[in-house]
Structure 1
Amino acid sequence: MKNRTRIAAVLMLVAVICLTITGCQKGAEQATADSAAPTGSDRATRDEAIITIPLTDETAKAKEKMRTLNVKESLSEKGFPAALDMLKNREGQEFPQTKTKLTQGHSAISGNDLYTLEKDKAESILFYLHGGAYAYGISEKQVMFCDDMAQRLNAKVYLPLYPLTPQATCRDTYPFLEAAYAEALKEDKPIYLIGDSAGGGLALGFAEYLRDNGTQLPQKLFLLSPWVDVTMSDPAIPEYEKKDLMLSSYGLIELGKLWAGELDTKDPSVSPLYGEMKSLPPTMIFTGTDEVMVPDNATLYHKMREAGVDCSLIFGEGLWHVFVQDEFPEAVSAREMIIDACQ
């Protein structure tokens, strides 16, 4: 019983975080250039669209404390089987209770829940896709991030609770997102598509889906440590994993297979890194330099630029997965970049 309680606690923490080197090996001062260069590339090392947010002393101290938390256990080869058993036995999703002062709305679309957070006379819409390895529901931390962004942007937030694996696959998700997005389009306001971690990968895949179906695209795309390739096959990932405080590739790969269902794991619906990038909206990619997503995020950046997409890549020096949703100075700076881009 104690072991199950301990596993449940770890799972909850991972859900918050997920929902929360070749370049890095050369030092944080090189992260803006070298981390964004694909493996084996002789690409120029200076790029104005690559930005680094410096690590503050305050955050560096907090990072050392974070090292004591064993939040990677449920995604490790040893801990994942127990974690998966618990996921198989869960019953549905719940929207977390929060301290938001925004007006909360709810509707059901095709048997799935769509929540909204709204200020009076909202001028724009944030269409937010939460992270959680496609297996964990939205967390209080993620909702409060949306609350903050909505208040500062005077926006209405759409939060679709898409079907999760292992009970569902990506094929079950896109039709629901399309229906939820259609509701947002009816409001005739600027729409910004944003997602973190798995939600970031889903946001990219959904943008590709909208483009391919001739649907109006969002004004801009914001990807926070997006998980864009569930195969985790970039050869640089094992080195980044040594630095990552939160994620283990073993469990992510297994969950990615479940999310793919009958599709190939390199199908763009599953791993949008393999999709076509042309004609996508202006995009901002945020990633910590010390996380497993860096290699694929760097590859995504270069693919977008080569396809003519207005794309920027913002590194959080020495930071972790989805650092943008934290309260440290670096996260504040990153949020300000998003706010400015929406003005």
Structure 2
Amino acid sequence: MSNDEATIVEDSERACVEEALEAGVELLLPRDVPLGGPRAMPVQRVLPNKHRHFVGAWCFADAFGPTDLGDGPGMDVPPHPHTGLQTWSWLVDGAIEHRDSAGGRHVVRPGGINLMTAGRGIAHSEYSTPETRVLHGVQLWTVLPRGEREREPGFAGHDAVPTTEPAPGVLASVFVGSWGGATSAVPAFTPLLGVELRLGAGAEAGLPLDPAFEHGVLALTDGVLVDDVPVPRGAMAYLDPGRTDAVVTAEADAVAILLGGEPFEEEVVMFWNFVGTDHAVVAEARETWMRERDDAGARERFGTVVDDDAAPLPSPRIPDVELLPRGRAKRRDR
């Protein structure tokens, strides 16, 4: 892309964001990043965002697909570590097998959720299954609060979550929290909401919102509008605390994820797959992972992923400057 082309794209994105703000919606745009090792799969990462780091305790969101696996690699992520967070895997199409060092192993498919609690440290791997032809979904992280970040790691795979129909042509699957008369049994450590919305072409859903929460509507397909603001695939419409409702409309068959939670007021350091209170905590986790990665007999903290002989991924180097804790958002000047 030439400098002139880049300027045109930036100006177009800025105009789109400013128009959304005038309508009362903060539009967060994603960036394209590779996920995994040598056969990295491209994903659209909308959280953390340069303008907003968290939505509630949701601190990370990667949307991927729909990807025809005949045209390229699927999900192929060898063993890698996590600390201080929970990971959530939700699919629209396809299947992914999870394996971890706490003994967890489960294949997640549409309608179910894989939830891993890293706590003080865990390693896991994720691979799309051989029969998967189209892969489409989202991976999410939540920050564990200070008192839970050193807990024992664990995993839970759920094959189904409760559903409800909030409007004609709309199916809602509640994978965490309570919404629309449905309550998920999936555990969380801060007040959270996670709902998949599947909308038929032309469908409109009025979304009741908890005014104590902040919310985000993440578009997993084209054709999603929030309060008449177009939300491109991979982007998120952020809604401030105090809102009691919003309207999602589908110009074509569409899928969106409604996320919510009480504003997470703690500041944390996030580096690669590590979450900690300060620079020293994540630096120590990174050093431990690299030492254990190179010495299978010394894997005391992160352990060994069950039935996975792939070489564990190396961590990027930590910058030479101190990593500073960050909070919920770096707000735009309005």
**What is the TM-score normalised by the length of structure 1?**
0.27
Q: Give the greater-gyration-radius structure (CA).
A: 2
**What is the TM-score normalised by the length of structure 2?**
0.27
